[in-house]
Amino acid sequence: MDPASSAGDVRVAVLASGSGTNLQALLDDEFCGPRIALVVSDRRDAFALERARSAGVPAVVVDPAEHDGRDVFGAALLEVLADRAIGLVVLAGFMRILPPGVVRAFEGRTLNVHPALLPAFPGAHAIADALAWGAKTTGVTVHLVDEEVDHGTIVFQEAVAVRDDDDLASLEARIHEVEHHLLPAAVRALAEGRLRIYGRRVTVAEPASVRP
């Protein structure tokens, strides 16, 4: 984010492909909710669209099947984001690799939440992969997005223990609980210009309201 910009002016777009539980956590957050100006899905049946409309947030579909290739899809997505003067993009269960043009246009202004402690278990099946590997600990990562998959600079991570009796549903539920507080915290930190990036390391300043 431009440090000179006011967090109050930040317009956030959330991209989601599925049920939108992370979207709901953002909508319910006192900082993030009022700043969400747009929800975009690549799927017409995504329940995230209904969550947005119920909250009075504009919701649109950009269907990849209606666009000839990733670059054309990316251009269509950029047009939608520009129409709403979006300043910050959040990938919240968006199950599609963001086209390079979009990544470059929002460099340093796009966050993704991933259900594992990256760089462990990247990809679309991170929770199942952690269980199959016999991992004792997994967790949640919120990171800035770059042109590689699940690769960008890490903003926040929080561990989740894998219990001996865990199955996919039980572990997923606990991971979602962490996602629902970690993602809004990262959005606020980025919007308020509190991230300091040194190569692949990030420090996060405390909000002004809690500084001594």
- Decide if 114 is catalytic: yes
Whether 1 has a pLDDT exceeding 50, the answer reads: no
pTM: 0.91
pLDDT at residue 62, as a whole number: 94
Question: Can you read off the two tokens belonging to residue 102?
Answer: 């979009």
Which listed CATH number (3.30.70.260, 3.40.50.720, 3.40.50.1390, 3.40.50.170) goes with 7-210? 3.40.50.170
Active-site position among 67, 114, 143, 180: 114
- Across the range 62-75, mean pLDDT stands at 89
Give the tens place of pLDDT for each residue, 12-55: 999 999 999 999 999 999 999 999 999 999 999 999 999 999 99
User: pLDDT-based confidence at 6, cuts 50/70/90?
Assistant: low
Mean pLDDT of the chain: 93
Whether 122 has a pLDDT exceeding 50, the answer reads: yes
User: pLDDT-based confidence at 208, cuts 50/70/90?
Assistant: confident
pLDDT at residue 4, as a whole number: 36
> Domain-by-domain residue ranges, the chain?
7-210
Angle, helices 168-191/126-133, rounded to nearest 10 degrees: 130
Higher pLDDT, 207 or 100: 100
Contact present, 101 and 74 (Cβ < 8 Å): yes
- Across the range 99-104, mean pLDDT stands at 94
- Across the range 172-199, mean pLDDT stands at 96
pLDDT at residue 68, as a whole number: 82
C-alpha to C-alpha distance for 122 and 97, rounded to whole angstroms: 13
Whether 5 has a pLDDT exceeding 70, the answer reads: no
pLDDT at residue 212, as a whole number: 39
pLDDT at residue 12, as a whole number: 98
pLDDT at residue 2, as a whole number: 44
Contact present, 58 and 13 (Cβ < 8 Å): no
Whether 146 has a pLDDT exceeding 90, the answer reads: yes
